[in-house]
Amino acid sequence: MRATWAEKWFYRINYLVLLLAGLTCLLPLLNIIAVSLSDESSVSSGMVGIWPKGFNFDSYTALFDGTPIIRSFKNSLIITGVGVALSMGFTILAAYPLSKKQFFARRFFTLAIVFTMLFGIPTIPAFLVNRSVGILDTYWSLWLPGLISAYNMMVLKSFFENIPEEMEEAAWMDGCGDLRILLQIVLPLSMPVLATLTLFYGVGYWNVFQSVLINISDSTKYNLSVLVQNMVQNQSLLQQLNSSLRPEELDMQMTSEGLRASGLVVLLLPLLVVYPFLQKYFVKGVMIGAVKG
């Protein structure tokens, strides 16, 4: 069926609005990358737009040589990698039995989990609980309180409910147990929603900031988000970095804008690299997992 004149204009306006929305997200990112790759005089004079002026890697050299960014990057990888593995594992173990109609008290537990979505975790009670169980100043204080996202669990539960029961019944007749059915049948069929939830958990753990400041007192355990935030707000870090330069490197003194921009690029780069590989699963995973049919 051919689109009418009104529909064509409707589509054109939609494309224009989406283009403008995309540019509002893309242009600031391009500006940050350009500032991180420009010389300090161009950055200080405000001449940098979306293209580098005086292309160089001095900001990145100073960042990696003068700040503990490599250690913070490793900490972020540990927090994200272990956190995603734990959260995905327990989310699957919670969603699978709740998706079965024969599970005892299925309705009660589902409503109890949904009820928790109405309230956030208060900061002070969470801190007191972490202190009472002795996990302060460890990464367990980041992993355990938010181990399972109720929203993610409900999405995965809905997806599991859409898998035909006949497939599992056939596996039962062949002698498969619950664990084998989950690992060899259910999970391979759930790759779109699993990839989507992995992305959700990964972004959350990678960008965790407030919980680190509250629960972690050892600065050697800080992640990238905290380090970049310190670079944005703490001028003493920049002064310490510039004072550590050798006499022959004095012309490489960093401005706060260049150093901050390079730190932000390092913080965003892993997510920008991973997202294209998971993007094809993103919409499909959310829509199939969220719609009952």
User: How would DSSP label each residue in 183-200?
Assistant: IIIIHHHTHHHHHHHHHH
**What does DSSP assign to residue 55?**
-
Residues of the chain short of pLDDT 70, as ranges, are 1, 234-256, 280-293
CA 126 and chain centroid, separation: 22
Instruction: Name the nearest CA neighbour of 151 among 188, 201, 108.
Output: 201
Q: Read off the pLDDT of residues 53-97 as tens digits, 9 standing for 90 and up.
A: 888 887 888 778 777 889 999 999 999 999 999 999 999 999 999
Distance CA 248, CA 76 (A): 34
User: What is the per-residue pLDDT for 37?
Assistant: 85
* Orientation angle between helical segments 106-115 and 69-98, nearest 10 degrees: 140
**Could you tell me which residues come within 8 angstroms of residue 86 by beta carbon, excluding any fewer than 6 positions away?**
143, 147
Terminal Cα-to-Cα distance of the chain (whole angstroms)? 27
* Orientation angle between helical segments 224-233 and 235-243, nearest 10 degrees: 90
Distance CA 109, CA 20 (A): 44
Other Cβ atoms less than 10 A from the Cβ of 145: the count is 15
* Orientation angle between helical segments 191-206 and 256-290, nearest 10 degrees: 150
User: What is the per-residue pLDDT for 1?
Assistant: 63
C-beta of residue 211 within 8 angstroms of C-beta of residue 138: no
Distance CA 28, CA 20 (A): 13
Structure tokens at 254: 């960093």
C-beta of residue 34 within 8 angstroms of C-beta of residue 52: yes
Domain definitions of the chain by residue range: 1-56, 59-290
Q: The tokens 């272990």 sit on which residue?
A: 82
- Please tell me the number of Cα atoms within 13 Å of 213 on its side-chain side: 11
Distances (CA, A) of 10 to 20, 22, 24, 159: 16, 18, 21, 33
User: Does domain 59-290 match CATH 1.10.3720.10?
Assistant: yes
Distance CA 217, CA 106 (A): 41
pTM: 0.82
- Please tell me the number of Cα atoms within 13 Å of 145 on its side-chain side: 24
**What does DSSP assign to residue 223?**
-
